[in-house]
Chains A and B, each alone.
Chain A
Amino acid sequence: MNPNSKALLVFFLVILSVLAFNASGVSAGGDDTCLSCHGQEGAPHYVDPDLYSTSVHANNGCGSCHRDISGFPHEAQSKDIPIERRMNDSCASCHAGAAEDFQKSIHGQLYNKGIDAAANCVSCHGSHDITGAVTKMEIAEGCASCHSGEPMETYLESFHGKAILLGSVKSATCTDCHGNHDITGPADPDSRVAPDNVPKTCASCHGQARDGFADGATHLSIRPEGKAAPVYYTEKFFTWLTILVITALTLHIEIELYGQFRRAGKSDDRKGGEE
Chain B
Amino acid sequence: MMSAEKKYERFNLQHRVQHITFFTSFIILALTGLPIKYAGTGWSMAIAGAVGGGDNLLYIHLFGASMMIAASINHLLYLAVGAIVGEFSLAVVPTPKDFKDLYHNISYQLGLVKEPPKYGRYSYKEKFDYWAVFWGMFIMAGSGIMMWFPERAAGLFPKWFLDAARSAHSDEAMLAILAIFVWHFYNVHFSPRVFPMSFVWLHGKLTRREMEEEHPLALPEYEETEKRRAAREAAREANKHMTDLNAGRY
List chain A positions with a Cβ less than 8 A from chain B: 156, 159, 161-171, 202, 206-208, 210-218, 220, 227-231, 233-235, 238-239, 241-242, 245-246, 249-250, 252-253, 255-260, 262, 271-273, 275
Assess whether B147 is interfacial by the CB under 8 Å rule: yes
How many angstroms from the CA of A239 to the CA of B167 in the assembled complex? 11
Q: Which of A162, A213, A234, A259 contacts B167 (CB 8 A)?
A: A234
Q: Which of A161, A207, A218, A273 contacts B151 (CB 8 A)?
A: A207
How many angstroms from the CA of A208 to the CA of B111 in the assembled complex? 64
CB-CB nearest 5 A-B residue pairs = A216-B159, A259-B109, A166-B54, A238-B171, A215-B158
Contact present for A212 and B55 (CB under 8 Å): no
CB < 8 Å A-B pair total: 151
Assess whether B60 is interfacial by the CB under 8 Å rule: no
Q: Which of B45, B111, B156 contacts A262 (CB 8 A)?
A: B111
**9 examples of A-B residue contacts, CB within 8 angstroms:** A212-B155, A212-B158, A217-B163, A228-B160, A230-B161, A233-B164, A250-B183, A272-B192, A273-B192
Contact present for A242 and B174 (CB under 8 Å): yes
Q: Which of B161, B186, B193 contacts A275 (CB 8 A)?
A: B193
Contact present for A246 and B175 (CB under 8 Å): yes
How big is the B interface, by class? 35 or more
Contact present for B166 and A253 (CB under 8 Å): no
Assess whether B92 is interfacial by the CB under 8 Å rule: no
Residues on B with beta carbons closer than 8 Å to the beta carbon of A168:
53-55, 58
Q: Is the interface of B mostly helix, strand, loop or mixed?
A: helix
Assess whether B49 is interfacial by the CB under 8 Å rule: yes
- CB-contacts of B50-65 with A (<8 A): 53-55, 57-58
B192 to chain A, nearest CB (A): 5
Given contacts A206-B150, A212-B157, 4 further A-B contacts (CB under 8 A): A169-B55, A235-B171, A246-B182, A258-B109
Please name the residue on chain B nearest to A214 by beta carbon.
B159
Please name the residue on chain A nearest to B191 by beta carbon.
A256
Contact present for B179 and A234 (CB under 8 Å): no
Q: Which of B160, B183, B191 contacts A230 (CB 8 A)?
A: B160
Q: Which of B44, B108, B150, B163 contacts A220 (CB 8 A)?
A: B163
Contact present for A230 and B39 (CB under 8 Å): no
Assess whether B30 is interfacial by the CB under 8 Å rule: no
A154 to chain B, nearest CB (A): 11
- CB-contacts of B209-233 with A (<8 A): 213
Assess whether B4 is interfacial by the CB under 8 Å rule: no
